[in-house]
Structure 1
Amino acid sequence: MRIGSLLVGAVLAATCLSGGTAHAADVFTVYMSPTGSDSADGLSPTTAVRSLVRVQDVLRGAKPSTDVEVRIKQGTYVAPPMHDWRFYVPGHTISFLPIDYQYGEGQDGIAGRPVFRNAADLPSGYWLQPRLPRDQTDPLYDGGDSGLRFYYLQVEYYSAGAVSVHGDSERDISDDTYSPPMRKPGSKGLNGNTFFGMVFTHLGSKWAPCGATCYGYGAIVLTNSSGNRITNNHFVNIENHGNYGGHIHGLYVTHFSSGNTMSANRFSHINGDPVKIRDRSNFNTVEDNTFTRTGRAGFYRDEFCDAACLKANPEVGTRQCASYHNRFAYNHLISDYDGDNSSEAWTLQPAGLTNAGGAPCTIPAGEQRLHTAGNTTS
């Protein structure tokens, strides 16, 4: 497979996702270069910075009130995991994209994807983890639309995964009025993000060793993060070592992450289930994707930890409920990870299309956990 190839309709989709091209005067731009310096200001290509840590410092100092673009020159950025992205512009977007990318164009319009790579001697973790602001006066302290957009970048060799959008970071997520406690959302979420034309490759503990009991979770992990668009991306070699394969996924959508669109992506060589939905993550759409050598139990998995699960696994900490009205449709299911096509198209744990998980969990009347249509196999 040539991972640079575009899927059908990619250019049209890019135009729709971009929200149009803003005038230069309406955008605050920070420049990155592999040969840049974090002592520079990042405000021009000749004063480019080298790390996302420095990009965030520049933005915090400038306090822009417009859309932001982080223009990234092609090359390889050897970067440790960054689990402390907390800068957002309410009502605006922050886009991370190649320096020569024009909204609405495909890969042929750029010189190549900038590459973010972990090194063998760098810490374990995700390439990037957006989190809630710490400052209680920040408009997004309690969550909202974070508006991060990622276009045509490549992320590789991170043990936990690529991007973890963490809308519950450092917040109370336990409703102790129940016994055992129920999981609750810690905020309004970090919502409204875009991933387009990205390549996520060689992620997980098979490719970034991090210890005998360390493992990855997913190329993209959404925790209390809704209204995201994940389209026209490649998820390749997303694998854990040893017996931890089942823990890693291409997309892991969990804990109150609803209304996400995951379409026209390619998944290849993932030794966990490539798409996993968990715990009251409703109205998500997984459509028009291609799956090759992916999946252990199935290509799509819906899972939550009910009372029986929590009793058997007290380390989970809080009880969860079923998700509902998710859609898995018109996907091309070519082969499972072992290549023997013994996996199911989709699985539910615990079983039951209308199993909400027991009171106080509910599924609306007439609803069910998953709707399927038009999936094909080879």
Structure 2
Amino acid sequence: MRWGAGIAAALVVGAMVGPVARAADVFTVYMSATGSDAASGLSPSAPVRSLVRVQEVLRAAKPSTDVEIRIKQGTYEAPPMQDWRFYVPGHTVSFMPIDYTYGEGQGGIAGRPIFRNVPSEPSGFWLQPRLPLDHADPLYEGGTTGLRFYYLQVEQYSAGGMSFFGDSERDVTDETYNPPMRQRGSKGMNGNTVFGMVFTHLGSKWAPCGATCYGWGAIVLTNSSDNRIANNHFTNIENHGAYAGHIHGLYVTHFSSNNTMSGNDFTYINGDPVKIRDRSNLNTVEANTFVRTGRAGFYRDEFCDMTCVRANPGLERQCASYHNRFANNHLISDYDGDNSSEAWTLSPTGLTNAGGAPCTIPTGDQRLHTAGNTTT
């Protein structure tokens, strides 16, 4: 009885103080498509309208806790925002529907807030997080940025949806080599989550941006590691004809390692839906579904070796990636629908081709491991 009474009392106290404690531990900014950027954004009755204003609010408040951007359902006509630089070291910054509860699926929300490009605005990504410019910032040299995105929809941006740019404004050229080698510009922009999102109608086919303009990918990771990309939908990720091969669902490049990409659906992508490049190691691409996607294959591993550099003056030399895993995926059909594409391709070829000294692959390892992929 005494133990039972103690447990009951503890539960009552927990029920009373739990929400209060959580409110104190999370700094919240509210958004609405009918809000105003003149508002404070600090209550549901005073929402702001743009991510530019959200960042201004956060910079002014300087929270030292987890942050949530609670976004009311609606359509946000939003030009590309390629200068997100707010992070809280040791904490997360989460973007989500106003009614989202962690751990619940799509059924727990009234719908996904939609971010749609403004046709008259310049080309670009919906959102491109970059590293801080202030040398005194704890994350100036990179690290765990802790951005989290849940159940939003992004559409009609020419360059793509999101670009985590861990080499922003950093020196990426090692000129002690001839020709120069690509080098890692920072510790990276790491430890982010993209979950339950919809990326649709992205690329120059859907957001015309000029004859020589094209998109890169729905999600691009550049020097960005330890991310989780799961349960998202990538549909109609397409460039206009001459640049079809340049766009991807997921483009993982330049020192982007230990990323998990699972449970995603890829539909109508006229470049290879998953592409890995340049010392991006130990990534897992598993349990995804591919329908009408891919030119050469469903998975593409590519890097620019000495031959490539000679054919493309001005590019830095790169090295192979290794120990990536492409497994248990459903490979239903390629973009043309004729199923002539390979499951995976390497360029340059060779599972153990590191790219020549100083590039290396650990002894006994190889660029790609595959298992359990099905075609039905």
Do these two structures clear the TM 0.5 threshold for a shared fold by scoring above it?
Answer: yes
Aligned pair 1:374/2:372, yes or no? yes
Length, aligned pairs only = 356
Aligned pair 1:292/2:304, yes or no? no
Q: Which whole-Å deviations, capped at 9, do the CAs of 1:82-138 have from their partners, x for residues lacking one?
A: 110001000000000000000011111100000000022121100000001000000
Equivalent in the alignment of 1:356: 354
Distance in 2 (alpha carbons) for counterparts of 1:179 and 1:357: 15
Equivalent in the alignment of 1:43: 42
Distance in 2 (alpha carbons) for counterparts of 1:313 and 1:166: 23
3-state secondary structure, aligned to 1:46: coil
1:315 is displaced (CA, Å) by 3.5
Q: TM-score, normalised by structure 1?
A: 0.94
3-state secondary structure, aligned to 2:27: strand
Equivalent in the alignment of 1:328: 326
Distance in 2 (alpha carbons) for counterparts of 1:59 and 1:104: 25
3-state secondary structure, aligned to 2:83: strand
Q: In structure 2, which of residues 331, 339, 342 is the aligned counterpart of residue 341 of structure 1?
A: 339
1:1-378 pair list within 5 angstroms: 23-316=22-315, 318-378=316-376
Q: Which whole-Å deviations, capped at 9, do the CAs of 1:307-331 have from their partners, x for residues lacking one?
A: 1001101142x10000000000000
Letter in 2 for 1:32: M
Q: Which whole-Å deviations, capped at 9, do the CAs of 1:283-332 have from their partners, x for residues lacking one?
A: 0000000000000000000000001001101142x100000000000000
Distance in 2 (alpha carbons) for counterparts of 1:123 and 1:113: 25
| Structure 1 alignment gaps of length 5 or more | 1-21
Larger Rg: 2
Identity %: 81
Q: Which whole-Å deviations, capped at 9, do the CAs of 1:247-299 have from their partners, x for residues lacking one?
A: 00000000000000000000000000000000000000000000000000000
3-state secondary structure, aligned to 2:107: helix
Letter in 1 for 2:294: G
Letter in 2 for 1:51: S
Distance in 2 (alpha carbons) for counterparts of 1:84 and 1:315: 26
Distance in 2 (alpha carbons) for counterparts of 1:83 and 1:119: 14
| Structure 2 alignment gaps of length 5 or more | 1-20
Distance in 1 (alpha carbons) for counterparts of 2:209 and 2:178: 36
Letter in 1 for 2:319: C
1:31 is displaced (CA, Å) by 0.2
1:335 is displaced (CA, Å) by 0.1
Letter in 1 for 2:369: H
Q: TM-score, normalised by structure 2?
A: 0.94
Distance in 2 (alpha carbons) for counterparts of 1:349 and 1:307: 12
Distance in 2 (alpha carbons) for counterparts of 1:54 and 1:121: 20
Distance in 1 (alpha carbons) for counterparts of 2:29 and 2:314: 42
Distance in 2 (alpha carbons) for counterparts of 1:280 and 1:303: 10
Distance in 2 (alpha carbons) for counterparts of 1:299 and 1:79: 31
Equivalent in the alignment of 1:6: none
1:24 is displaced (CA, Å) by 1.9
Distance in 2 (alpha carbons) for counterparts of 1:120 and 1:40: 26
Distance in 1 (alpha carbons) for counterparts of 2:119 and 2:54: 24
Q: Which whole-Å deviations, capped at 9, do the CAs of 1:124-156 have from their partners, x for residues lacking one?
A: 100000001000000000000000000000000
Letter in 1 for 2:321: S
Q: Which whole-Å deviations, capped at 9, do the CAs of 1:179-238 have from their partners, x for residues lacking one?
A: 111000000000000000000000000000000000000000000000000000000000
Distance in 2 (alpha carbons) for counterparts of 1:359 and 1:186: 21
3-state secondary structure, aligned to 1:54: helix
Q: Where does structure 1 differ by over 3 angstroms across 4 or more consecutive aligned residues?
A: none
1:43 is displaced (CA, Å) by 0.1
